[in-house]
Amino acid sequence: MISNSIQKASNDYRYHGRILNGDYSQMLQGRILECINAFQLIEKTGTPAMLYIAAWQEDEKQIWYEYVCHKITSILGCEPGETAGAFCRSVIESRIYKYGVKHENDDTTIRKEQIPQNALNCEREHLRSESVSAGVTEAVYKMSLQNRGEIWLNDKANIEWYQEDGIYVSLGSLTDVTKEMTAEEEREKLLVQLQDALAKVKMLSGLIPICANCKQIRDDQGYWNQIEAYISRHSDAQFSHGICPDCARKLYPDFFKSKNKKS
């Protein structure tokens, strides 16, 4: 079998894919074999990137893995043949980066789309179709893992199409970006808090008509209001009433006269 050729790169690697043992073109099988051998050699260098080879039939929804590095199965806590299911079950949020998408008043060709867990199953086939059209895919997955809690993985891949076999192949890598995404989540939370705070603040600005004698303020409808009532309606300020020393002397002269005599 052609899968035996993998042993040239690693004597302890067990192949769990379909293509090398199936009825597929030599071009496709040769490409898979070439990539598996190359990915194994790269993995031995200790790279932080976690390499994989995924594939799916054009007329089927089910994805499988031709190659999964040991780090991926270790993180997911599964066997290589269980990778697809374990990965899907672990994802609780996706942030998809779509290439070549332009919008009105926006010159950027990369757009980020956030997809919560309850919408992933409905969107998965559509997103895969968009990735095929673009030839590349990039996403960041928030995952809940039994052995590591919540982590973020950045997924980048190139998509190859083999028309003779009706097979799509995804050559990709996963990178742990938990620190970066945790910091981004904190920034997003702070931004929401700031926006909420600004929404609660009512700003007083412009020319405000005020009586030179009684200090009442005229509102937009032409009515005169006590200054504290006007400010309270147009801001979040609250008043606690007291008496300043000058007003106290005017209002209670007898009290201050008796106080001065005693002193």
Look up residue 214 and give its two tokens: 């009684």
Task: Tell me if 65 is assigned to some domain.
Answer: yes
Last residue of a domain, one of 168, 186, 204: 186
Task: Tell me if 206 is assigned to some domain.
Answer: no
Helix (H, G, I), strand (E, B) or coil at 179: helix
Q: Are residues 117 and 227 in the same domain?
A: no
Q: Are residues 27 and 77 in the same domain?
A: yes
Residues 6+ apart with CB under 8 A from 256: 248, 249
- Number of compact structural domains in the chain: 2
From first to last of its 263 residues, what are the pLDDT tens digits of the chain?
Answer: 555 555 444 455 789 899 999 999 999 999 999 999 999 999 999 999 999 999 999 888 789 999 999 999 999 999 999 999 999 899 998 887 766 544 455 555 556 666 656 555 555 565 667 667 677 888 899 999 887 889 999 999 999 999 999 999 999 999 999 999 999 889 989 999 888 777 766 566 678 888 888 888 898 888 999 888 888 887 777 888 888 888 888 888 888 777 666 66
Q: State the CATH number of the domain containing residue 57.
A: 3.30.450.20
Domain that holds residue 234: 217-262
CB contact at 8 A, 156 and 137: yes
Q: Are residues 182 and 229 in the same domain?
A: no
Last residue of a domain, one of 186, 205, 237: 186
CB contact at 8 A, 99 and 134: yes
CB contact at 8 A, 57 and 167: yes
| Global confidence as pTM | 0.65
Location of structure tokens 């300020």: 237
